[in-house]
Amino acid sequence: MTNDLRAPLKGIVIDPGHGGNDSGATSGNFQEKDFALEASLYMYDRFRDLGIPVALTRDSDITLSEPTRVNEILAPYGNTSDVLVISNHLNAGGSEGAEVIYALRNTDELAQLVLQEIGNEGQIMRKYYQLRDSEDPSQDAFAIMSDTENTTPLMIFYGFIDNPNDIQKIQENLIDYAEAVVRAVARYYGYSYVSPDGEKDNIYIVQSGDSLWSIARKFGTTVDAIKRLNNLTSNTLQVGQKLLLPTIEEELPEPDYITHTVVAGDTLYKLAATYNSSVDAIMKSNNLQSTVLSIGQVLRIPTSGEIETPPVEENVIYTVQKGDSLWAIAQRYGIRVDDIITANNLTSSNLSIGQKLIIPSTSTAPPTTTTYTVQKGDSLWSIAQKFGTTVSAIRNLNNLSSDTLSIGQQLKIPSSSTTPPTSTIYTIQKGDSLWSIAQKFGTTVSAIRSLNNLSSDILSIGQQLKIPK
């Protein structure tokens, strides 16, 4: 969050998702459209109370076609970046927690702040992210984003309608979650926020010579309290910057967890080691079903009381699985290939299934990236093979929502000081098949097929194939 005073909004358009014949996600007697309308009507009244121009795409249970909804969004204030669009929704799929989607043309600051404020009301924070169209990755997946072109839209999913824990929280706390969005928006755009109980924000303007420590001492609070209230990630201040200050009654207690936003290279093991927690504790706190993380995902890291965590060991032992390579294992743990080689005194990169490897807790050098321009015939798999990395590593580093690539598209490729493994050339002999070649070189048929862009398994004597190492 940037705490400078922004130009006032031209207006906010609140869009209650679905409506009429379109019920949205359902579970038993619960319908997404009803919760969306309830939250939207509340927000509409609150923004008016704060003196912020606001409009609704619908104020009753009516059906809106996609083009009509877009027209209703653009009608009140036009199609400019100082028009904020808030589209309210519930999710489905059995998971738990809130998510915020923001447009490809916008930064993540407001989405992050909205999700954080909802989390402050007790809801699990899943992630804030962008979603690309599967057929045209240059476009947003949703029409209210792609067809409004210049506005600043957010799609807010307050929870999962088909999760018993979430539906109970939504029934009990939906208005609190909606108020959290109002609070985030007002503070982000520099409007004076007043709570429904009449409590005003305590705002301080940074002066020359100020520091967080001196401000905290002056107002009888703590540096951590100021940083949490303002979502600050560093202690750097700017003259004229606006800071929210907790009052004595509102002094923020030390939480039993901290929040971490996932960046490239993060793994659950690495985060557990960094924060003196455990992988199981982080997974339980965030209701994670797998260890896969997404860039921009917001995690709660338990620090005390909530979950008893064992001491973190300096190193872990990893058992080599079928298909593993040193590069893939290094990517999984966020370290370099050289670190694994050194820790295990390896003389080659060949691995054996069942082999035990020491995984050092830290890397001797930070991972770097290289940029690759997509060529005709490329796929994520072939690019991963070319650079000795994994599809998931490339997908996460580039925040891709699908495996569709466009010629000329630029991708960040994770790399290290170790030269990525290259392929070897094999000439087809009589009696060869893709299966026998894969067995001979310890790889897979699909890996050979992808690396050579083969459309069939038919081979010709004398044909040359690239074999991944």
pLDDT band at 72 (very low <50, low <70, confident <90, very high): very high
The reported pLDDT for the residue numbered 373 is 81
d(CA 92, CA 95): 7
Q: Which helix (H) or strand (E) holds 165?
A: helix 164-188
pLDDT digits (tens, 9 = 90+) for 57-69: 999 999 999 999 9
141 contact partners, CB below 8 Å, separation of at least 6: 131, 132, 133, 134, 401
Strand partners, 91: 160
- Residue 70: exposure state from Cβ atoms within 10 A (0-12, 13-18, ≥19): buried
Cα distance between the two ends of the chain: 45
d(CA 201, CA 140): 35
Whole-model pTM over 0.85? no
Asked whether residue 456 carries a pLDDT value surpassing 50, the answer given is yes
Mean pLDDT of all residues in 161-174: 94
Percentage of residues of the chain with pLDDT beyond 90: 36
pLDDT digits (tens, 9 = 90+) for 205-214: 888 878 888 8
Asked whether residue 46 carries a pLDDT value surpassing 70, the answer given is yes
User: Across the chain, what does the average pLDDT equal?
Assistant: 81
Q: Which domains does the chain have, with CATH numbers?
A: 11-188 (3.40.630.40), 203-244 (3.10.350.10), 257-302 (3.10.350.10), 315-360 (3.10.350.10), 368-415 (3.10.350.10), 423-468 (3.10.350.10)
The reported pLDDT for the residue numbered 13 is 97
Asked whether residue 23 carries a pLDDT value surpassing 60, the answer given is yes
Asked whether residue 226 carries a pLDDT value surpassing 60, the answer given is yes
Mean pLDDT of all residues in 332-354: 75
Asked whether residue 401 carries a pLDDT value surpassing 70, the answer given is yes
pLDDT band at 467 (very low <50, low <70, confident <90, very high): confident
Alpha-carbon separation of residue 370 from 296, 367, 413, 423 (angstroms): 20, 10, 5, 19
pLDDT band at 159 (very low <50, low <70, confident <90, very high): very high
- Residue with more model confidence, 398 or 13: 13
pLDDT digits (tens, 9 = 90+) for 289-331: 777 788 778 888 876 443 333 333 445 778 888 777 777 777 6
Asked whether residue 283 carries a pLDDT value surpassing 60, the answer given is yes
**Contacts for 230-237: CB closer than 8 Å, 24+ residues apart:** 230/1, 230/3, 231/1, 231/112, 231/113, 231/116, 232/1, 235/211, 237/206, 237/210, 237/211, 237/212
pLDDT digits (tens, 9 = 90+) for 421-430: 456 677 788 8
